[in-house]
Structure 1
Amino acid sequence: MSKSPVVPVSRRESPGGADSQETTAPSYGQSRAGDVFQLLRDGHARTRAELASITGLARSTVAARIDALTAAGLIGPAGEAISSGGRPPSRFAFQPSARIILAVDVGATHILVALLDLRGTVLSEIREVIDIATGPIPVLDQMLELSDQVIARAGRHARELVGVGIGLPGPVEHSSGKPASPPIMPGWDGFDVPAYVQNRFDVDVLVDNDVNIMALGERASHWPDVENLLFIKVATGIGAGIISGGLLQRGADGTAGDIGHVRVPRGGDVMCRCGNIGCLEAMASGPAVAATLAAAGVPATSGDDVLELARRGNLAAIAAMRQAGRDVGDVLAASVNLLNPSVIVIGGGLSSAGEYLMAGVREIVYQRSLPLATARLRIVQSMAGGHAGVLGAGHMVIDHVLSPASVEHLVQQQP
């Protein structure tokens, strides 16, 4: 595929990454191979005659589109249908292993690079420690090195790559892929991430906020039928991915869901790194909880230390985790009344403490939200866990590169 660093501003991913405005109703009356392919994306094998019946296209036209999609490697033979007399007709199905996707989850202190097939199955992955504050070039260079490694580990080749999806721990202008004044990412503001990555991989590169892609990944993998979902990441930072009416909501400037900088009742005059006081992140993030414990004489310097203490049954750590949950619940109670989600998923590093954090969240949300808003509300721990980000980044790219227009472009590139 040719370079395409900019995604149109009007483009919005549905919670598995689907293009709500581009692929909601494929025009099967058109004769493009990309439109015919949409009927095969579900993995069900179909014959030429079945496709002709569904699309209304001439069988000769369908045959030509099948040949073009087969040449591109997107579909392949899938056995034969039952014959009604004569030679059994051949069936064709989507071949998700035909091409590969790089999906990258960049956090404040970690990077996870995964290689996915076109169905979103993880083929290989590598996770390493980073410091996002070192700046975009060191972090992206490490990402590119790890990308080469995951491709090699899976026995694939870079020429099979059709797209890269990246989640970053800060606001992102999704139309350009550039970070926009990210509070914990010095040196990243306005950096052209897609262009830098495309110097190495000449494919489409999509970039979004890490919590947004986690919301996409969690829904695609575990809540595909849920139309209204909040994904809350509680880690070094705190943020929310908002899916409302089946669509990911980014807001006017890509900052929707930045709940970490909402003031909480217990915040007092505690200074936050954003410059304000009393922010949720300053009270309930991993570093904040660790600082609270350290001030009480409990040895903790990071969120990981807090988790380890809680797992060992340290009462101070357990109490601190539950209080962090209450602080998160204070903000979520207002969000529940405003957005009326049916599912709230708690993810991120501190969520692995399980019920300690969750108990505090549930306590406040059910206490302070309207009864009607919580009547069917479920508050659950992330089931995708540490893979939510790469799954979401992968699905975001997959639905972009498998859209009718992108498939048509890929087909036309074939010799």
Structure 2
Amino acid sequence: MKLSKIAMLAAIACASYTSSMTASGNDTIELVSHCAAACDCGEPVCGCETVVGCDPCGDACDSGCGDAGCCDAGCDGGCDSACGCGVGGGLGSLLGDCCLGDQWSLFGEHCGWSAGGWVQMGYHDRALPIFNDRPDEYNLHQAWLYAEKAIDTSCGFDIGGRIDYVYGIDAQNTQAFGTGNRGWDNDWDNGGANGYGHALPQAYFEAGYGDLSVKIGHFYTIIGWEVVTAPDNFFYSHAYTMNYSEPFTHTGALATYNVNENVTAYGGYTMGWDSGFDDNGDSFLGGLSVALSDDLTLTYATTFGRLGAAPLGNPEQGYMHSIVADVTLSDNLQYIFQSDYLDTETSAGATVRETFGINQYLIYTLSDCWAAGGRFEYYNNEGIFGAPGNDSDIYALTMGLNYKPHANVVVRPEIRWDWDDDQVAGLESGDDQTTFGIDTIFLF
């Protein structure tokens, strides 16, 4: 590593601090607790227990519940239709009672440190050129372990950090492949180019004071809405934009400043895209997140500079941004709009990649156990599936469900339609394809 880069990292570490950002990163998917919503108790009511500090059975729950009241009686008290008890009223009555109970942890928390993970396994009947590239097999996608000490700066200065390990067919997509075989964990493969592998996608130190903190090391990007970690996405499959136009990981320093309760600013230095602890570039990573109202949050994130050389075989430099609008349309309905733009070139000025994408998500929470969602993507690219100068338009529509039979288990069936105006490498049918997939995530 260049001495100038070490000096820059040290300067950033001494001058600024960031707030804690975990691997879950950028998206927020929460199943609404209908019992809490109906009784207006300001926190989730897991399993419909009585909430301390408020009247869980006020006007919304009095009728038809008797003296005990709906929430006090619990889901077995015969008051499902009046209070909801996590099943969403009339529609919930068709789905049955939904009492998830508490999510358990295998390791728990000790002295401020927590550890956990998940196992994700799934099947899809057609190959996609993004993550899900082993069809007609029951795949282990992610066997994930993490250890973390999240910082708490409410009482002053605090330090922490996080490390993640993953094994499975998704591991090669989150290795430090940006620097080729010399980079970090990129050669930890097991089974060939599309086989299994290991990865250490995060290993960072974090320190903070008040509204400022800094993260130094190897960490996930802040760009985009979809992430690599399976429990933090609604859908089993991924968008083209996320895979081909956004970085996955960075190595460097990232600062965050909570300007106020509605505005958060990010800024830092990274050694290119998807790099380990070696020289792969010089780039800025930063952005701004603004809560414009209780129902609308707008996030702009960008990276620009020298992004690296290994991924596409050329020295690549340029600019990329992602704009995400997260809108709460109702207590049950969430809408996300995302627009990405990427423009990179070689040192000689030749185009390497130029892409533009629009992703739209609509997620409806039926109950604590059930949610339904749709995703529609338009992706225009040049230099991804063909030589620079030839662009193509790709469209993808995905419909899916999330079912939680237990607080630690999520089942995600989906059906996906892909089509394009030119043949795209990786789509089995050329210009159109229908894919069915289903996976299960076990959290611990």
Calculate the TM-score normalised by the size of structure 1.
Answer: 0.26
Calculate the TM-score normalised by the size of structure 2.
Answer: 0.25
Task: Kindly indicate whether structure 1 or structure 2 has the higher relative contact order, using CA contacts under 8 Å at least 6 residues apart.
Answer: 1
Looking at secondary structure, tell me which structure has more helix per residue: 1
Looking at secondary structure, tell me which structure has more strand per residue: 2
